[in-house]
Chain A
Amino acid sequence: MLKISCPFCGPRNEVEFAHGGPLKDRRPENASPLEDQAWIEYLTVPQNPLGPVQERWWHVRGCGSWFTITRDTRSHDIIDNGNKS
């Protein structure tokens, strides 16, 4: 059971959250000058590392905050809990 630190509520069990997928790159401001390859990669290729991944979580059974943490996909250690303080 992951203990995830919600920025508003503090550490809560993972069952209170919904996983929002790995963090995506910022959406390109202007799609047209981009090569097709770059646009397709933006749309379809996620981070999938054997190690730290940045991912989004949604405190759906709590305050409803969305935030980003960095978690190791092998050990499940949360390296960066994304909280400002």
Chain B
Amino acid sequence: MQQYSIFSLARNALSGHQNWSRAWRSPPLKERYDVIIIGAGGHGLATAYYLAKNHGITNVAVLERGWLGGGNIARNTVTIRSNYMRDESIPFYVKSVKLYEGLTRELNYNLMYSKRSMIDVVQTYPKLREIKRRMFNGDLHGSVYERINVDELRRRIPPLTGGGPDSRLPIIAGMVHPSAAVCRHDAVAWSYARAADDRGVEIHQNTEVMKLLRDANSGRISGVETSRGNIYADKVAVVVSGHTTSITDTIDLKLPIKSFNLTAFVSEPVKPIIDVVVNCPDIGVYLSQSDKGELVIGGAPDAGQSFRRDIKQHVFEDSVCSLLELFPAFKRLKLMRQWGGTLDIAHDATPIVSQTDIQGLYVSAGWWGGFKAVPAGGYTLAHLIAKNEPHQLAAPFTLDRFKRLDFILEAGTTTVT
């Protein structure tokens, strides 16, 4: 793998940047692999990398129906944090945050990782009680979440001038999660892809999986039928987020998952004005400012299941109205781009990292906000695929919990809802 550094940059500048090697290959498709990963998104590519790096499993094909990293890894609002509610979840996200911290160095790729802190702007007492409960749980598992008063909150977020005593919902308190960070989401996909490819993993774009294939005798998974022919493997992992059930439906595997559309938008780049990730759970909007200066803003998911990945005007307007309630100065901001992504949520709003009733078939789904989970999601899924035993951090996330009706209720800690 060509090392990126100031020296390679200088050397290549001298030759007009004509000699950079390709970040990943497009090799010919083979008929059989040890492992097929469906989905070249954040989780899929991270899984491929850790399979190769941690487990020495390199005869792996990552199949992507579109272009590499064109799914939710391209569409998220880049918040990395671990302030969840449940004992089962927090350690997993703490690990993911930790992996992100070292990722630029590990993958030799500038992820533009920037530790920011996240501040919740609390405007109702029920929300404050809920967040305080998460604060105490976080304490037990090494995820810091600390209360600040309104003066300190305003000091840290200068453009937050709304929410005063005469407003509809005056701000009551703030809650700070210092380990929250942002980074360049495309770089996450590209860096994992490059590092996985370097270790022998094959990435195949424009290769759509039409259905899963099972062995007629044993019923175990035997491979996939794709737009480029059948490909066989003893281990197949479905890592496609929103479209998970579309793939598992092809063999009548029932999963407790629903898919919704979540939209986001960015403003024109402006000078640095907010250096934290701001979350306003009572009015349904959250934002941060990228290193390029754009304000990245998101709100609540659309009502009703959807795969359309576009913007509904009234949802967009609702988010903007909420934003302006607390940030009236942003009335003058020009908003540049809006988009949607398909998020899947499990019955209890906790992710699924699991083997299935079909031998050789693995599923990683239900992330409902999986960007922060990409490193740990890939790390634990790779472990599960390699050893057929869940990694300790993701052991609570198997499908077994549904068989025991032992739900891990995480609603309220994922996206705004």
Contacts and interface: CB of A to CB of B under 8 A. Distances in A.
Interface of A: 1-2, 13-15, 17-19, 21-22, 36, 40-41, 43-46, 48-50, 53, 55, 71, 73-76
A53 B256 contact: no
Nearest to A50: B246
Nearest to A46: B258
Interface of B: 243, 245-246, 249, 254-259, 303-308, 312-314, 344, 347, 402-403, 405
- Of B245, B303, B347, the most chain A CB neighbours within 10 A belong to B303
A37 B305 CA distance: 25
B254 A18 contact: no
Given A53-B305, A55-B305, A40 B402 contact: yes
A15 B405 CA distance: 34
B110 to A, nearest CB: 37
B405 A40 contact: yes
Nearest to B347: A44
B342 to A, nearest CB: 9
B405 A43 contact: yes
A13 B254 CA distance: 33
A1 B313 contact: yes
Given A48-B258, A75-B308, A76-B308, A40 B303 contact: no
Contact of A18 (B243, B249, B303, B402): B303
Nearest to A19: B303
B304 A19 contact: yes
Of the candidates B249, B304, B313, B403, the one having the most CB atoms from chain A within 10 angstroms of its own CB is B304
A44 B246 CA distance: 17
Contact of B304 (A46, A50, A55): A55
Contacts of A73: 259, 304-308
Contact of B243 (A19, A44, A50, A75): A50
B138 to A, nearest CB: 28
B144 to A, nearest CB: 34
A50 B258 contact: no
Contacts of B344: 48
Contact of A22 (B305, B308, B347): B305
A45 B307 contact: no
A36 B303 CA distance: 31
B403 A45 contact: no
Contacts of B245: 48-49
Contacts of B402: 40, 44
A13 B314 CA distance: 10
Nearest to B246: A50
